Amino acid sequence: MKYEKNQYTEGFSICGLIIAGAFLFWGISTIIAGGWWGIILIGIGIAISLGLIRALVNKKKLRNTVKYEFESNPNATVEDISKTTGISKKDVQAIILDLKMSGELRGKFSSKTGQLKAVPAETAEKDKFCQSCGAHIEKEAAQFCNYCGAELG
C-alpha cells in the first residue's frame, strides 16, 4: 500500500461520488440517444468510482495499521505511530478518533507524555464512551457528552 499525505482524511468524498454518478448518467443517456461518445463519459464515471473504492479500501488498511501499532506498543504516542508507519499526524489522529468511536481502541492519552494508557478489558466493558467523539463518560447518569455535547444513547 502506497501512502499519500492526508489520504485518510481527504481520500473519499461524497462530492466525488455525485460527480461519478453524473458522468455515468450522462454517458448512459448519450448512448441511449444514439451518441457514441457516451462511452467516454461512462469511462470517466467508472474511473472516478474506482478511485473512490480504492480510497475506501486504503482507509481500512490505514485503520488496521494504526490499530496494530497500538496493540504492539500500547504506550506509543501519536508522534511515534506517525514516525513508525509514515502516516501523517493528522491522519493518525483522525484514525484514533474513528477507532475510539467504534470501540476498537480504548484508553486515554497522558496529558504530560502523550502516551496512550490502555484501559483494561474488564474496565472497558463497564465504561461508557461518547459515540460522537470517543470521550470517556465519567458519570453513569449522563445524558450528554461533557466534551462535545452530543446526546448519549
pLDDT-derived band at 3, boundaries 50, 70, 90: low
Average pLDDT of the residues of the chain: 81
**Which of 45-54, 84-93, 95-104, 121-130 holds the top average pLDDT?**
45-54
Write out the E strands in the chain.
107-109, 116-118, 128-129, 136-137
Mean pLDDT, rounded, for 133-139? 74
Mean pLDDT, rounded, for 66-81? 84
pLDDT-derived band at 4, boundaries 50, 70, 90: low
The closest of 123, 119, 96 to 108, measured between CA atoms, is 119
Residue 8 to residues 54, 96, 114, 123: CA-CA distances in angstroms?
A: 11, 11, 22, 30
Mean pLDDT, rounded, for 107-134? 66
pLDDT of residue 119: 59
Cut 0.75: pTM above it:
no
Cell of 104: 476498537
pLDDT-derived band at 127, boundaries 50, 70, 90: low
pLDDT of residue 25: 96
pLDDT of residue 124: 47
pLDDT-derived band at 39, boundaries 50, 70, 90: very high
Q: Do residues 11 and 55 lie in contact, with contact meaning Cβ atoms separated by under 8 Å? A: yes
